Each structure stands twice: as C-alpha cells, then as structure tokens.
Amino acid sequence: MTPQLEKVFFAYIMKHKKYFHIVKTYFFRNSEIQFVYGVVQKYILESIDSIVPSPRQILDMVAIEDKEGLITKEILKAILQVKLTDYSEKDFILPRFNGWILSNRLKTGTVDVIDETRDLENISDFGQAVEAANRIRAIVDEMSSTKFVEDDDLGSDFDDPENHVQDSSKFKVTCGFPTIDHLLGGGWDIATLNVIMAQTNAGKCTFCGTGISLRNKRTGCHTETKIDRLFAEIRKGHTDI
C-alpha cells in the first residue's frame, strides 16, 4: 500500500462520510495520514450531525492535537489536495478501497479469534463451549462480511453481483414437486402466497399420476382419480364432472 493510494482513500472517505464509521485509524500505514484521519474521524463521530470539516478547519484541528508539530502545512496540503476526478471510482478506487477495508477487517478479526481461543482449555462444560463458539462465529461473520455499510445505496458492494448471492434454502419451503422446487430455487418463499396460473388445459397439473378430487355436477358425489384417467374420461365425452 503506497502513501499516494492511502491519500486517495482518505479523500474518498472525506467525500463519503459513512465510511468514518467503518475505516479505523490503524488501517492507514502512513503515520501522517493516520494522525490527520484520526483527528477528523474523532470530530465526525462525536455527533451524528457533524459535517466533514473544510481544509482550513482541519488545519486548525490538527494544530491543536499535534503537540509536537509533526504535521506541517506542506504535509497537510499534500494529504488534502488529492483530486478524485483523476481516478475512476468504479474501475480504480472502489476495487482497491473495498479490498483494503476487507483485508484490514480480516487481520483484526483474526487477532480477535486468537484471543478468544486462548481460554478454550479452561472450558469445563458444554454451555461454555457453545458460548465460545458463538463469539468466534460472530467475529468471523463480521470480519468476512463484504457489506460494510447499511444505507440507501445498498452498500459499497452494490456493483459486485457475487455479494448479493444469498443462501436461499433458509427462506424456502418445498412444494413437494422436485421440478418446481428446482425452478423456484428451492421451493416456495416463506410467508408468501403463491398462485399457479395458466390457460385451460395448459398443464397446470404436470404429472399424469397426480391425484385430484372430482365432484359430479349432477349427483354431487366426490371421487378420487388421476390426471391421466380424467383426460381419458373427457375424451370419451364425460363432461359432467
């Protein structure tokens, strides 16, 4: 990771305030960018309604926090004057920016998992083991998630189709017909009303052996039969069913 690319990321975060909640200070390797970002992030996170400060405001804020005078005006100017218009957001910035966030989250999560496993030898019952497993699972789920933000634009991974693939089996109920289950991606969706519609004789009952209940219009009697037998009766002219 080069300092110039980190400057691009810094400028991108300044333009998209939502990432201040996601990108941690230690994500930046360059100490000068890390310091300036930490000052701005602290200001932003102190209030929900905070707006991104102007370069002049950042200069004053950094001057207050920089007790040793490490961040000169020239350094701050070099950090703040990156032109995002020189880079393609879709083809250059986002792929690298999202990869940068995910890799840092993975590093942090790995350390947290290691910390959780240090006391596993002291676990004495199944309940404690389940609690430890749940904590580790939560860490892994968070560190490996590619949906970094929750907002109206559906997140930074919107343009990546792979990140929208869901485990549909958790939200499906089999309809009893393997072919239909396959077409529907696992069956009916949970908590939905499903109606199969088609023209008469279009084959809504798709299997000849499908059992159905018939009522005689004259006698009102019900009989059980199969689809193939029904068609045979219709062809014979028995239309009173």
Q: Where is pLDDT greater, at 121 or 206?
A: 121
DSSP state of 122: G
Rounded distance, CA 71 to CA 67, Å?
A: 10
Burial track 104-143 (b if 16+ CB lie within 10 A, e otherwise): bbeebbeebeeeeeeeeeeeeeeeeeeeeeeebeebeeeb
pLDDT at 91 over 90: yes
Residue 176 CB neighbour total at 10 angstroms? 9
Q: Is the pLDDT of residue 130 over 50?
A: yes
Amino acid identity, position 48: I
The pTM of this model reads 0.58
pLDDT, tens digit, 9 for 90 and up, residues 13-41:
999 998 999 999 999 999 999 999 999 99
Q: Are 45 and 20 in contact (CB under 8 A)?
A: yes
The confidence band for 239, taking pLDDT boundaries of 50, 70 and 90, is: low
Give the residue, 86 or 239, on which the prediction is more confident: 86
Does residue 154 carry a pLDDT above 70? Answer: no
What pLDDT is attached to residue 168? 55
- 183 vs 127, more confident: 127
Task: Give the tens place of pLDDT for each residue, 30-76.
Answer: 999 999 999 999 999 987 677 899 999 999 999 999 999 999 999 99
Q: Are 200 and 234 in contact (CB under 8 A)?
A: no
Helices marked H in 46-185: 55-65, 73-80, 94-117, 126-144, 178-183
* Amino acid letter, 96: R
